[in-house]
Amino acid sequence: MKKLFDLNRVSVVTGALVSAPAVGTETGTSVDTLNYRHGIFHVAIAGGTGDTGYTITVEHSDDDSTFEDAGLDAVTGTAVDGETNQENVEVTLKSLKRYVRVSVEIADNAGVTLSAVYALGDKDYIPSSNEFLSN
């Protein structure tokens, strides 16, 4: 029976997005993906007052200083008043530059709280995005 994930081959790090109130575009802490082939970025968006639209993108950089959009499909949604949305962005790191981070654009109003966790590893040893959400 295959393990859900092998902790010796997976690194989990916090993405350190800002907490409430988040307005505009907020970026998470970057992670060095050297020696990793696959990643899942888990972002929790807690709704503030009213409904708030958001867009999550992945950015990458060669030097951990100048970041650009990685060209992956963005994840969009709406955080409903008082509820928390959990989104996963699953990526193959091979096509990306060495340093990656998530960027979250908050559309409508303030009062939204953000947090992010990144899991990096080989695809065979990292949980799928559904397993990551449920653990």
Helices (H), the chain: 129-134
Side chain identity, residue 11: S
Give the pLDDT of residue 134: 44
Beta strands in the chain (DSSP E): 10-14, 24-27, 31-32, 38-46, 52-61, 68-69, 75-79, 84-92, 99-106, 113-121
Question: Domains in the chain, start-ordered, CATH in brackets?
Answer: 11-134 (2.60.120.1110)
Distances (CA, A) of 103 to 41, 100, 115, 121: 11, 10, 11, 21
- Residues 115, 3: Cα–Cα separation, whole Å: 27
Provide the residue type at 60 as one letter.
H
pTM: 0.78
* Element housing 73 (H / E): none
The pLDDT tens digits along the chain (135 residues) read: 344 445 555 666 656 555 555 667 888 888 898 888 888 888 888 877 777 788 999 999 999 999 999 999 999 988 877 788 888 888 888 889 999 998 888 876 667 777 888 888 775 655 554 444 444
φ, ψ of residue 81 to 5 degrees: the values are: -45, 115
